[in-house]
Amino acid sequence: MISQRIKTLAPSPMRALDAKAKQLQADGKSVINLCLGEPDFSTPDHINAAAIKAINAGFSHYTATAGIPELLEAISQKLKKDNHLTYTPSQISVGVGAKQILYALFQVLCDPGDEVIIPTPTWSTYVEQVKLAEGVPILVSLSAPFKLTAEDVEKYITNKTKILLLNSPSNPTGAMIDKTELGKIAQLAIKKNILILSDEIYEKIIFGKTEHVSIASLGSEIFQRTITINGLSKAYAMTGWRVGYAAGPQEIISALNNFNGQVTSHTASISQKAGVAALSGTQQPVAKMVREFAKRRVVVLKNLKAAKGLEVIEPEGAFYFFISVKKLLGKKYVTSEAWCAALLEKAGVAVVPGEAFFAPGYFRMSFAASESELQTACDRITQFVNNKD
Ligand code: PLP
């Protein structure tokens, strides 16, 4: 009954694990769930207030597919101020989260057999979405600390390469691409006539010295072949509101609007009003959340020091640790997947195995949880590892 296309679609591994953790919790087991990729903060009050105002004003009708003019203008201003990018509102399209925008872009850009280069470890959604668009994901496997270089990419370019996917800071590694390397990647993309999809959804959540740079800001030629993707989920703790957007060449954005016009129409009218408040209002809640994340990152770094055999790499951005368990694999646990299943069963900590990111031998641990939860999780992991459970 089900189409071949959907039969071969891998289920979202994070959601499956999250469900298992919740089931154990429902059965009365103490489980710290560090699987999902969402801030544990509430949406800031002034954003909620804007949405409530919109509801009370009856702002409940269909809007333009690309989004309301106010929101497109707010995004245009944000891209100018934060990213040094000049996009007119007509070069911007808002969708139902960055995930849906990415899906639509692959549908709009890929012909059957077009190759999309995706550096791994990576968020599995990119890979599945490329396949759904009949494109071919070409995975470029990076070693720790997972910083992509132009040289890594060049080896995988063929005459079928259409798109290079960039995600800096990265989910799941937190690694960032620095400006010099981005410049080299841009030159390569120009020389080889490749489009760039730059997913910058974690741009605000950074901790190290590396500054976030939008590749499209590095010159007019790369600007013309880049689609910049972003959204409100992570920076403004708005995962449930479903607001994501793309900015890029007019031809591509018009095609994206055409596609969404037949598929989703637009994201919720109320969410769009909330989005205007998020982007145009005070940015202090964002800074506050990032300060909290920074403190939690230190809690994990400190508290996992005693866990023998784990290799902890310091994330530069996002809110994940991507930790190697390679030294702990052997007879008892052959794969990181088995190791993570045992960690959940025996120690009550839910993390996502590297297999879910095309990087076996690792696990991803979100630090979007309270300091006390993280402290307990680290204690449990350390005990699990040191007792060789
Ligand atoms: N891009 C990356 C790298 C992500 O990790 C996520 C969510 O986990 C998204 C995009 C999608 O965000 P949303 O659809 O909530 O805007």
Over the stretch 75-98, which tens digit does the pLDDT of each residue have? 999 999 999 999 999 999 999 999
Q: 84: CA distance to ligand 1 center in Å?
A: 22
Q: Is the pLDDT of residue 388 over 70?
A: no
Q: What is the pTM of this model?
A: 0.96
Ligand 1 neighbour 99 (Cβ under 6 A): yes
Ligand 1 neighbour 97 (Cβ under 6 A): yes
Q: 201: CA distance to ligand 1 center in Å?
A: 7
- Render pLDDT for 252-271 as a digit per residue (tens, 0 to 9): 999 999 999 999 999 999 99
Q: How remote is the C-alpha of 298 from its chain's centroid?
A: 21
pLDDT band at 13 (very low <50, low <70, confident <90, very high): low
Question: What is the greatest pairwise CA distance in the chain?
Answer: 64
Report the sign of the C-alpha dihedral through residues 373, 329, 310, 351, in that order.
negative
Q: Is the pLDDT of residue 117 over 70?
A: yes
For residue 158, which amino acid is it?
Answer: T
Ligand 1 neighbour 233 (Cβ under 6 A): yes
Ligand 1 neighbour 125 (Cβ under 6 A): no
HSE of 331 in the Cβ direction (CA atoms, 13 Å)?
2
Q: 231: CA distance to ligand 1 center in Å?
A: 8
Query: What is each CA distance from 328 to 114, 300, 305, 339, 387, in whole angstroms?
Result: 39, 19, 15, 9, 12
Residue of the nearest CA to atom 4 in ligand 1?
A: 171
Query: Please, what's the b/e burial string for 79-95 (b: 16 or more CB within 10 A of its CB; e: otherwise)?
Result: beebbebebebebbbbb
Q: Is the pLDDT of residue 371 over 80?
A: yes
Residue of the nearest CA to atom 8 in ligand 1?
A: 37
Q: What is the Cα–Cα distance from 169 to 201, expressed in whole angstroms?
A: 8
In this structure, the strands spanning 362-366 and 320-324 are: antiparallel
**Residue 324 contacts residue 362 (beta carbons within 8 Å):** yes
Nearest ligand 1 atom, CA 98: 16
Q: Kindly give, in sequence order, each residue whose CB lies less than 8 Å from that of residue 304, ignoring residues fewer than 6 positions away.
A: 310, 312, 321, 323, 378, 381, 382
Ligand 1 neighbour 231 (Cβ under 6 A): yes
Q: Which of 57, 41, 101, 56 is closest to 75 using CA atoms?
A: 101
Nearest ligand 1 atom, CA 101: 14
Return the H-helix or E-strand segment holding 226: strand 226-231
